Copies of this chain bind each other. A is one copy, B any other.
């Protein structure tokens, strides 16, 4: 990767919040949190993380790259499943420790490894003092057993 980012440490609050320098505040593990949303509908598709390399590759290639915490490696989203994400816009927040990535979801349109469009396919409700989950009914756009064969 050739792209580097501004070091946030010497920046003032004002520079961080109102400036034009992109100075992502990676956490102790070297990651920023990323919310991926669908262009047009604004629906939240997934939540993931990027290290500096994934962030640079995403900006340079226009294809979403993340850092997989479970696998401990760079993750080009859709490399196995075909569900690539084409970047429409990349936003950061006031204190530059989070990203909103606006994408067009390619392939069958499923961002979630379960085959659904979004990872957020259940809502929590209260029932007799207990929190339970209710499925929102998002259809499966692929069968994960066909896509992720080990």
Report which A residues bind B (CB closer than 8 A): 2-5, 17-22, 33, 35, 37, 41-44, 46-47, 59-60, 89-94, 98, 100, 112-114, 119-124, 126, 129-136
Assembly CA distance A93 to B136 (angstroms): 12
Assembly CA distance A102 to B133 (angstroms): 15
User: Least Cβ distance of A44 to chain B in Å?
Assistant: 5
Which among A113, A120, A129 has the highest number of chain B CB atoms within 10 Å? Answer: A120
In the complex the two chains form, is A131's CB within 8 Å of B5's CB? yes
In the complex the two chains form, is B3's CB within 8 Å of A124's CB? no
User: Least Cβ distance of A25 to chain B in Å?
Assistant: 12
* A135: B residues at CB distance < 8 A: 20
Q: Beyond A17-B114, A44-B35, A100-B120, is A126–B3 a contact (Cβ under 8 Å)? A: yes
Assembly CA distance A131 to B21 (angstroms): 7
* A90: B residues at CB distance < 8 A: 123-124
Task: Name A47's contact: one of B33, B132, B136 (CB within 8 Å).
Answer: B33
* A133: B residues at CB distance < 8 A: 19-22, 92
* A17: B residues at CB distance < 8 A: 114
Task: Name A100's contact: one of B22, B44, B59, B131 (CB within 8 Å).
Answer: B44
Task: Name A93's contact: one of B37, B47, B59, B92 (CB within 8 Å).
Answer: B47
In the complex the two chains form, is A94's CB within 8 Å of B123's CB? no
